């Protein structure tokens, strides 16, 4: 079930009123990513304020989530001797069946959930529809024919929680950011329809045949399955996964296949059996059939069981097609969970600068990891200035503008002697205004990396934006960078010293010079632009970033903090030099591999706590700056090497590069670090493609990219697939395309009606003329004349259908990352040993020996829809 945005504080207020210091702690399951980390910090601040005990548990992948369910969640269930409680999932579980993976729904369990309520906040899409429209214990019913809807808990309508809902019996609650209520109406109707349909086996029968043979018996065995509260029917995807799991393969790396990682996660849940008789049973009577025969005249024969079965199969296939389209549309990202958590704090009246800053860092980190409405993808430059080109397009621009408004509300500008504070004059702030200054300011941040903590030259050199536009992987690109600095009047001696020690005049004029000379080098978005009158639009400061000071100790931008927190999660506090330990190709035992994965998870969890502490410890955050610089130097070195050595191959559906040697290989065995490298290279390739061909391939999205990195310790490759490009918000484009298509259809219908009326008027005039001349009204001739004009009307209709098809193509917008489904199809078709354990669909691990076959099969798959 899902909680609408308008009721976001309902469950927390109930928790507030029912918890006391001796209550069982709230269990918080957090993914290892900056956005979830910031959301966790906000939630724990709220819980501490209300003296609600809580426990934080970092989760590494799907296997870690299942382990947390066994060790932490199951003991909370009342049926297991626990006292119930609340589990909060931040960045985990949105795309998997939580009832199954957490052990809240077990075979033979008549009381699922047992007082355990799971709150789910996740920016990943698609949702698991079982969590959204199901996920609650059914109310008991004495009526055997009662429908699923009639057995929903009080206050829950079609999965939506209302104001009258009373928590207590447990369940799964998805926090809706607005997408479920606005965009999933068709999926909700199909999900509900499938729930109340009886179980019948679909053997692929052609339903287009006539009903003449209705009296023939099917001759198939009875396929009625035993149902219970919360039991699921297997979908076709589950059958494939069973084949994969039970293949008896004893090879070292077993394929970890579970329903939770399926592209189409589950068939909808069903209530308890209601005495339905299988339509596949030739001896079944029609009296118990849930499909009512149409009422007809006396003596009209009732439809046979076969006819009813075929009708039911047809309806079922239509609804399953709706669900399948939703799951196979590709992955995407919606509103960051830190933003959702700040909305909760605002509803409770708890917003302050600390919570706002955590939200800003969480939102900013989404862009650093390429998480857009098109999935994990490099940003794409759009020629049209009417469309925002940054993260999440229109939606991202709206979120950032709301955050800027909050900064102004909580941090009013200082005015001294009638003069506005420096942050509003276009100068990048590098120091606090006073020793006690901890406020948040808006700043015209250039698209450089760690500019306050590096030299201007190094900051520009390691910027992914300048890397792709100036092509700094080559000597020509470096000369181009030097020429830009020379035109700006900045000497190499000046720009290679620490930015904070640069000449104040240069720093004051930096923005104006970048705006003046940036356009000469295709750098129009290097710094926030200004309107033609030289002023920012109505003070909105579009594109401006966020900066916070901690007195004299430090001043950092939100992007700086996001980069450091990400580096702490991926590399750790101490940046280890790369140890490319080349191990032999000896086959490892299964037990050894499991221990290795466990050790890796423990290492990543320790990094989580380092990053968690750094969010509120400025000294620990500053100590992480060298780690961030080390990681991005490695990204620059590796990206430059791959491009210069021409190690990027162009396959049928994507480009491919493999990182298997060099001093920095060990750094990229972490999926998030490898994703950053992939985005870095992908953005550069997109600009190369634009310069070479004048446009991007794949409908303006650019060619998708697959990057694989060798993990010599385990003998596997970490593989990441990034989409062609994020670009504008595809959801917004979908709605715009639908609106445009509707308007065009209305215009055509109006023209068609006007043409029909004009023809009718001509016919009436001809009839009147014939009557006046004393002749007979020759309706046959008029009808013939009218008929001759019908093909024109049909042609108009055909054109309309063609436009609808074009609109359907437009509706896909810039496409979504579909590597997750492609990976699953390759595993199903080949013998490649693959481990799918990441919450990101576009990340997998492949055995070293199986990489070539895996990539060959993957090259024939559509990886971006």
Q: What is the pLDDT of residues 140-163, one digit of tens each?
A: 665 655 666 667 888 888 889 999
- Binned at pLDDT 50, 70 and 90, residue 696 comes out as low
- Decide: 378 and 725 in contact? Cβ < 8 Å: yes
- Binned at pLDDT 50, 70 and 90, residue 809 comes out as very low
Average pLDDT over residues 564-578: 78
pLDDT at 80: 87
- Residue 92: is its pLDDT beyond 60? yes
- Binned at pLDDT 50, 70 and 90, residue 422 comes out as low
Per residue in 482-501, pLDDT (tens digit) is: 999 999 998 998 899 999 88
Least confident of 1-10, 253-262, 835-844: 253-262
Per residue in 300-344, pLDDT (tens digit) is: 667 788 888 888 888 988 999 999 999 988 888 999 999 999 999
SS3 string, 447-467, reads: CCCCHHHCEHHHHHHCCHHHH
- Residue 851: is its pLDDT beyond 60? yes
**DSSP strand pairing (171-175 vs 2-3):** parallel
Give Cα 510 to chain centroid, integer Å. 37
pLDDT at 107: 64
Average pLDDT over residues 837-842: 92
- Residue 183: is its pLDDT beyond 50? yes
pLDDT at 689: 81
- Residue 577: is its pLDDT beyond 90? no
Average pLDDT over residues 733-758: 74
Tell me if residue 817 falls in helix, strand or coil.
strand
- Binned at pLDDT 50, 70 and 90, residue 187 comes out as very high
pLDDT at 596: 61
How many percent of the chain have pLDDT more than 70? 72
SS3 string, 732-797, reads: HHHHHHHHHHHHHHHHHHHHHHHHHHHHHHHHHHHHHHHHHCCCCCCHHHHHHHHHHCHHHHHHHH
pLDDT at 208: 60
pLDDT at 33: 95
Average pLDDT over residues 654-670: 92
Closest CA to 357 of 9, 618, 32, 605: 618
8-state DSSP, 74:
G
pLDDT at 138: 75
pLDDT at 298: 52
pLDDT at 466: 92
Average pLDDT over residues 815-843: 90
Q: H helices within 184-304, ranges in order?
A: 185-195, 236-245
Angstrom distances, CA of residue 612 to CA of 265, 806, 827: 32, 48, 36
- Binned at pLDDT 50, 70 and 90, residue 850 comes out as very high
Average pLDDT over residues 611-622: 94
pLDDT at 582: 34
More confident: 72 or 542:
72
Helix axes 671-693, 558-570, angle to 10 degrees: 120
pLDDT at 373: 85
List the end-to-end C-alpha distance of the chain, in Å, as a whole number.
Answer: 29
**DSSP strand pairing (332-333 vs 371-372):** unpaired
pLDDT at 222: 38
More confident: 678 or 736:
678
- Binned at pLDDT 50, 70 and 90, residue 592 comes out as very low
Average pLDDT over residues 759-768: 84
pLDDT at 232: 42
pLDDT at 227: 33
| Assigned token pair, 43 | 């939630």
- Residue 533: is its pLDDT beyond 90? no
- Residue 865: is its pLDDT beyond 50? yes
More confident: 39 or 521:
39
- Residue 783: is its pLDDT beyond 60? no
- Residue 375: is its pLDDT beyond 80? yes
More confident: 198 or 103:
103
Find all residues with CB under 8 Å of 342, minimum gap 6, and list them: 42, 351, 355, 356, 358, 359
Least confident of 133-137, 523-527, 726-730: 726-730
- Residue 182: is its pLDDT beyond 80? yes
- Residue 586: is its pLDDT beyond 50? no
Average pLDDT over residues 764-769: 83
d(CA 836, CA 846): 9
pLDDT at 85: 92
Residue entry with tokens 């406020």 = 439
d(CA 618, CA 453): 14
More confident: 115 or 777:
115
- Decide: 79 and 114 in contact? Cβ < 8 Å: yes
Least confident of 420-429, 562-571, 584-593: 584-593
Average pLDDT over residues 546-553: 94
Q: H helices within 251-304, ranges in order?
A: none
Average pLDDT over residues 688-702: 70
How many percent of the chain have pLDDT more than 90? 43
Q: What is the pTM of this model?
A: 0.81
- Residue 203: is its pLDDT beyond 80? no
- Residue 673: is its pLDDT beyond 80? yes
> Which range, 114-118, 164-168, 786-790, has the best average confidence (pLDDT)?
114-118
More confident: 613 or 272:
613
- Binned at pLDDT 50, 70 and 90, residue 262 comes out as very low
- Residue 691: is its pLDDT beyond 90? no
Average pLDDT over residues 386-410: 80
- Residue 257: is its pLDDT beyond 90? no
- Residue 235: is its pLDDT beyond 50? no
- Decide: 56 and 30 in contact? Cβ < 8 Å: yes
Average pLDDT, the chain: 78
pLDDT at 813: 40
Residue 844 pairs with which residues in a beta bridge? 719
């Amino acid at each position: 079930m899902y909680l609408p945005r308008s009721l976001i504080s309902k469950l927390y207020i109930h928790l507030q009123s029912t918890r006391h210091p001796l209550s069982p702690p709230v269990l918080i399951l957090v993914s290892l990513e900056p956005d979830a980390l910031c959301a966790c910090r906000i939630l724990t601040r709220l819980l501490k304020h209300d003296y609600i005990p809580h426990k934080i548990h970092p989760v590494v992948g799907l296997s870690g989530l299942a382990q947390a369910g066994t060790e932490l969640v199951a003991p909370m269930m009342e049926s297991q001797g626990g006292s119930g409680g609340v589990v909060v999932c931040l960045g985990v579980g949105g795309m998997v069946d939580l009832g199954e993976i957490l052990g809240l729904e077990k075979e033979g369990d008549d009381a699922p959930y047992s007082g355990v309520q799971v709150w789910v906040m996740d920016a990943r899409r698609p949702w698991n529809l079982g969590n959204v429209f199901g996920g609650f214990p059914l109310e008991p019913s004495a009526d055997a024919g009662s429908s699923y809807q009639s057995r929903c808990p009080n206050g829950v309508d079609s999965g939506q929680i209302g104001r009258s809902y009373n928590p207590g019996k447990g369940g799964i609650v998805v926090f809706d950011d607005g997408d479920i209520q606005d965009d999933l109406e068709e999926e909700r109707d199909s999900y509900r329809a499938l729930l109340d349909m009886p179980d019948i086996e679909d053997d692929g029968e052609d339903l287009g045949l006539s009903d003449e043979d209705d009296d023939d018996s099917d001759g198939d065995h009875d396929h009625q399955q035993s149902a219970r509260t919360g039991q699921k029917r297997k979908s076709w995807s589950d059958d494939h996964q069973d084949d994969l799991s039970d293949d008896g393969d004893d090879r070292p790396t077993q394929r970890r296949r579970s329903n939770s990682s399926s592209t189409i996660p589950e068939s909808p849940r069903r209530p308890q059996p209601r005495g339905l008789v299988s339509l596949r049973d030739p001896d079944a009577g029609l009296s118990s059939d849930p499909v009512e025969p149409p009422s007809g005249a006396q003596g009209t024969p009732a439809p046979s069981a076969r006819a009813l079965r075929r009708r039911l199969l047809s309806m079922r296939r239509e609804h399953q097609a709706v669900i399948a389209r939703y799951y196979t549309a590709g992955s995407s990202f919606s509103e960051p969970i830190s933003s959702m958590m700040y909305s909760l704090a605002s509803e409770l009246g708890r917003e302050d600068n600390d919570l706002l800053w955590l939200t800003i860092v969480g939102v900013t980190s989404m862009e650093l990891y390429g998480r857009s409405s098109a999935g994990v993808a490099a940003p794409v430059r759009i020629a049209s200035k009417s469309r925002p080109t940054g993260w999440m397009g229109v939606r991202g621009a709206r979120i950032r503008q709301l955050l800027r408004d909050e900064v102004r509300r909580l941090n009013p500008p200082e005015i001294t002697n009638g003069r506005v504070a420096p942050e509003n004059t276009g100068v990048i702030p590098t120091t606090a205004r006073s020793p006690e200054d901890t406020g948040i300011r808006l700043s015209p941040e250039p698209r450089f990396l760690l500019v306050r903590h590096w030299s201007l030259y190094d900051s520009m050199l390691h910027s992914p934006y300048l890397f792709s536009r100036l092509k700094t992987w080559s000597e020509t690109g470096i000369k181009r960078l030097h020429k830009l600095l020379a035109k700006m009047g900045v000497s190499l001696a000046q720009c290679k010293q620490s930015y904070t020690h640069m000449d104040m005049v240069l720093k004051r004029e930096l923005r104006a010079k970048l705006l003046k000379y940036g356009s000469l080098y295709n750098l129009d978005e290097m710094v926030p632009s200004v309107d033609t009158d030289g002023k920012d639009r109505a003070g909105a400061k579009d594109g401006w970033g966020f900066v916070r000071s901690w007195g004299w100790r430090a001043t950092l931008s939100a992007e700086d903090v996001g980069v450091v927190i990400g580096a702490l999660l991926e590399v750790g506090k101490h940046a280890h030099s790369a140890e490319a330990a080349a191990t032999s190709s000896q086959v490892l035992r299964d037990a050894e591999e499991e221990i290795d994965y466990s050790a890796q998870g423990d290492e990543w969890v320790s990094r989580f706590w380092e990053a968690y502490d750094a969010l509120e410890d400025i000294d620990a955050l500053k100590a992480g700056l060298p780690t961030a610089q080390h990681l991005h130097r490695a990204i620059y070195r590796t990206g430059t090497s791959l491009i210069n050595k021409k190690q990027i191959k162009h396959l049928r559906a994507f480009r491919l590069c493999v990182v298997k040697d060099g001093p920095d290989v060990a750094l990229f065995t972490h999926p998030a670090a490898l994703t950053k490298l992939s985005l870095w290279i992908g953005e550069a390739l997109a600009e190369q493609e634009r310069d070479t061909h004048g446009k991007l391939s794949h409908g303006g999205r650019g060619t998708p990219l697959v990057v694989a990195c060798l993990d010599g310790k385990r003998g596997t490759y970490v593989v990441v697939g990034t989409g062609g490009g994020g670009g504008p918000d595809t959801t917004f484009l979908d709605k715009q395309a639908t609106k445009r298509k509707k308007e065009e259809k209305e215009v055509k219908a109006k023209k068609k009606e006007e043409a029909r009326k004009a023809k009718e008027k001509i016919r009436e005039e001809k009839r009147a003329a014939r009557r006046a001349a004393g002749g007979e009204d020759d309706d046959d001739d008029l009808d013939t004349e009218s008929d001759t004009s019908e093909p024109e009307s049909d042609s108009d209709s055909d054109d309309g259908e063609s436009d609808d098809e074009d609109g359907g193509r437009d509706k896909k917008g810039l496409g979504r990352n579909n590597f997750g489904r492609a990976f699953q199809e390759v595993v199903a078709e080949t013998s490649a040993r693959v481990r799918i354990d990441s919450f990101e669909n576009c990340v997998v691990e492949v055995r070293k020996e199986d990489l070539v076959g895996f990539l060959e099969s993957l090259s024939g798959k559509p990886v971006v829809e």
